Amino acid sequence: MERPHNQYIRPLLTDLYQITMCYAYWKNGHHMDHAVFDAFFRKCPFKGEYTVFAGLSEVIEFLENFRFNQEEVNYIRTLIPHAESEFFDWLLSIDASQLKVYAIPEGTLVFPRINLLRIEGPLAIAQLCETTMLVLCNYASLITTNAARFRKAAGKDKVMLEFGLRRAQGPDGAMTASKYSYLGGFDSTSNALAGMIYGIPVSGTHAHSYIASYVDYSDFRDRLIDGQDILQLALDYRRESGFTTNDGELTAFASYAKAFPNAFLALVDTYDTLGSGIPNFLCVALALYKIGHKPVGIRLDSGDLAYLSIQARAMFKKTSEKFNVPFEDLKIVASNDINETVIHSLNDQKHQIDVFGVGTNLVTCQSQPALGMVYKLVEIREHPRIKLSNEKDKITIPCKKNAFRLFGESGEAICDVLMMSDEAEPQVGTRMLVRHPFDERKRMFVVPSKVEKLHKLIWDGRLVEKIPSLSEGRERLQMQIEAMRNDITRAINPTPYKISLSSNLYDYLQDLWNREVPIQEFR
Ligand SMILES: Nc1ncnc2c1ncn2[C@@H]1O[C@H](COP(=O)(O)OP(=O)(O)OP(=O)(O)O)[C@@H](O)[C@H]1O
Ligand SMILES: O=P(O)(O)OC[C@H]1O[C@H](OP(=O)(O)OP(=O)(O)O)[C@H](O)[C@@H]1O
Ligand SMILES: O=C(O)c1cccnc1
Ligand SMILES: [Mg+2]
Percent of the chain with pLDDT over 70: 99
CA of residue 358 to ligand 4 center, whole Å: 10
Residues 169-226 pLDDT 10s: 999 999 999 999 999 999 999 999 999 999 999 999 999 999 999 999 999 999 999 9
- Would the CB of 189 count as within 6 Å of ligand 3? no
* Nearest protein Cα to ligand 2, atom 3: 359
- Find, among 210, 155, 165, 173, the residue nearest to 189 by Cα: 165
Taking CA atoms only, the protein residue closest to ligand 3 atom 1 is: 204
* CATH assignment, 16-146+368-516: 3.20.140.10
The one-letter code for the residue type at 354 is D
Architecture of domain 147-363: Alpha-Beta Barrel (3.20)
Which pLDDT tens digit goes with each residue over 101-127? 999 999 999 999 999 999 999 999 999
Distance, CA of 316 to CA of 329 (rounded, Å): 8
Say if residue 394's pLDDT is above 90.
no
Give the percent of the chain with pLDDT over 90.
95
What is the distance between the alpha carbons of residues 334 and 302, in angstroms, rounded to a whole number? 8
Per-residue pLDDT at 517:
86
Q: Please state the atom number of ligand 2 nearest to the C-alpha of residue 361.
A: 3
Alpha helices in 297-415 (DSSP H): 305-323, 340-348, 360-363
ipTM over 0.85: yes
Binned at pLDDT 50, 70 and 90, residue 5 comes out as: low
Distance of CA 233 to the CA centre of its chain: 46
Ligand 2 contact, 364 CB (< 6 A): no
State whether the beta carbon of 204 lies less than 6 angstroms from ligand 3. Answer: yes
| 367/363 Cα distance (integer angstroms) | 11
Residues contacting 268, CB < 8 A, separation 6+: 277, 278, 280, 281, 298, 299, 300, 312
Domain ranges of the chain: 16-146+368-516, 147-363
Total residue count of the chain as it appears in this document: 523
